[in-house]
Structure formats: structure tokens, C-alpha cells
Amino acid sequence: MSHSIRENIKQIRSEIGNIKLVVVSKYRTIAELHEVYETDQRDFGENKVQELVNKYNELPKDIKWHIIGHLQSNKVKYIAPFVDLIHSVDSLKLLQIVNKEAEKQDRIISFLFQLHIAQEDSKYGLLEHQLSDILSSNILPLLKNVKCKGLMGMATNTTNTVQVEKEFTALKLIYDKYSEENQWDTLSMGMSGDYPQAISCGSTMIRVGSKIFN
């Protein structure tokens, strides 16, 4: 198995050039994460706060931790001391809490707005008009301890690549519309099943789990 984790990461790196790889380590053991770390991988993603905190405590401190799943306001305080990038900001209210907790830690926390691009309604995220409202709100400039780096989105879980590319293209268009004036540099889209499409549609960061560990 250790052989395959290394080989899988090597294979993915060879396909993606300078696109940033976040290894999604949810459900995986500390031993497996050590194997990933040994390949010089430093960006790891988790979708649950408790699991992220546990792994942070057990693993080397030069790892950059990404929270990629839905984030509850009352859990922000647990990750605020160390989180590198929050991919899942989906309300101004949540962002205000992140800012408050970042201020307590004397940090500036980087984040992405999560956009809803899939057809499934189970997925979280903002619609474009909601993003636009937040970006133009007079509260946003007051939040000095958070920094927006861009957008994140998840495509519909389907083998229909036309559908998936349509959704990624829609997200890229929204990204392009706002990225210059906001000095964004990160478009987080693409997972095990769809990262080649995401990259062809302009992704700068992919989040890959099962393809590495299975």
C-alpha cells in the first residue's frame, strides 16, 4: 500500500504541472498521512474541524492545513490558530466570525468563497448574486483579519463530463469577473473524479483524496 500512495501522488503531480495539489486526508490514518508527507507534500485538506485539529496535533507543524468542508460558526475558534486556507466561506456572518477569531490570534486568515455550481441541492455555497452582494457590502472592508484569495466550487457528481465542464466553466467566468479588482489568485476546483476537466477549465488548485489512497 505504501508503494501505491507514493506512486499515485507521483502520477498526479506529473499530470498537473504547477497546479497546487491539496491532498484530502479525511478518514485516513496518521500513518498514511506520514507517507504522504514523505513525498514532500505539505498541503493537506480535511472537511471536519475535529479531525483536522486531531491531525494537526499529531503531525509535523510545517503542514499547511486546508478546511474544505462546511464550516460551522461555533467551530471556527478551534482552527483559527493554525489553519492555512478556509475553502468554504459561504456567508458574511461566517466571515465575520472568522475575522473575530483571527483577530484574537493576531493572524490574517486566508479564505475562499464557496460557490454553488452543481445541480444537486445538497451542496453548500453561494449563488453569484449573493457573492456579488458580499463583495460590495460595506462590512467587508472592515474585516481586517481575513483575506480572500478566490473561489471554490464542486461540480455535480456525475460521469457526464459535458455537464461537469459546463459547471466548471461557469465558476471560472465568475472568478474572472471579480479576480482582478480583488487580486485573487486561487480557483479551487477539481477532485479525484474530475480534476482533468477542472484544470482544462482554469483551476489553480485541486483537492484530491480517494485517487491517492485507494
Ligand X SMILES: *Cc1c(COP(=O)(O)O)cnc(C)c1O
Name which of residues 48 to 77 contact ligand X (CB under 6 A): 68-69
Q: Which is nearer to ligand X, 9 or 191 (CB)?
A: 191
Among 47, 110, 186, 203, binds ligand X (CB under 6 A): 47
CB of 126 to ligand X, least distance (A): 15
Closest distance of CB 139 from ligand X, Å = 26
CA dist 117 and 168 (Å) reads 8
Contact between 192 and ligand X (CB under 6 A)?
yes
- 87 vs 172 by CB, closer to ligand X: 87
- CB nearer ligand X, residue 28 or residue 172: 28
What is the contact surface with ligand X in residues (CB under 6 A)?
Answer: 24, 26, 47, 68-69, 154, 191-193, 207-211
